Amino acid sequence: MSPIVVTEAVRIPASAIAVQAARASGPGGQNVNKVATKVDLRVDLDAIEGLGEAARRRLRALASHRLDRRGRLVMTSQATRTQSLNLADARAKVRALVAAALIPPAPRHATRPTRTSREQRIAGKKQRGAVKRLRARPGDWS
């Protein structure tokens, strides 16, 4: 098993990757019943080399629903009828997930609504109130 290279600085060593094959679900007839083409790839997140602490936290957040009890990332693929292509697909999914964690989120800047938007909002509320007032019986409103 070769390591997964995400960037020049970030890579997942082969020792952190565990691959297991299983029978795929869905249509396929006798091929599905006989051949184990589904790939279950598990990656130890703590063993990823070159990943900063902030990126590691982002990766854990992105992969939170894909973690097993031991904290390993579980990526499955059963898109094709061959085990080798499913393995390549699962590796590509892991590479994409780690690459997404490397991108820091854009900083948020506090903004305020414009004067015109505030005035339009208040005008809309007054108009809505007037419509409701017109619906009431004449003696009900004060």
Q: What confidence tens digit (pLDDT) does each residue in 4-16 have? A: 999 889 999 999 9
Dihedral Cα 4, 92, 69, 54, nearest 10 deg: 70
Which single residue is written with the structure tokens 């869905």? Answer: 26
Q: What is the pLDDT of residue 24?
A: 82
When pLDDT is cut at 50, 70 and 90, the band that residue 141 belongs to is low
Q: Is 141 helix (H, G, I), strand (E, B) or coil?
A: coil
Q: What is the pLDDT of residue 139?
A: 74
Higher-scoring residue by pLDDT: 127, 138: 127
- CA diameter of the chain: 83
Which domains are delineated in the chain? 4-102 (3.30.160.20)
Q: What is the pLDDT of residue 26?
A: 72
Q: What confidence tens digit (pLDDT) does each residue in 5-56 have? A: 998 899 999 999 999 888 888 777 777 777 888 899 999 999 999 989 999 9
Half-sphere exposure of residue 140: CA atoms within 13 angstroms, side-chain side: 6
Regarding beta strands 4-5 and 38-44, do their DSSP bridges make them parallel or antiparallel, or are they unpaired?
Answer: unpaired
Q: Is 60 helix (H, G, I), strand (E, B) or coil?
A: helix
Residues 84-96 have a mean pLDDT of 94
When pLDDT is cut at 50, 70 and 90, the band that residue 73 belongs to is very high
Q: What does the alpha-carbon distance between residue 67 and residue 101 come to, in Å, rounded to a whole number?
A: 15
Q: Which DSSP state fits 114?
A: -
Taking residue 43's Cβ as centre, other Cβ atoms within 10 Å add up to 24
Taking residue 135's Cβ as centre, other Cβ atoms within 10 Å add up to 9
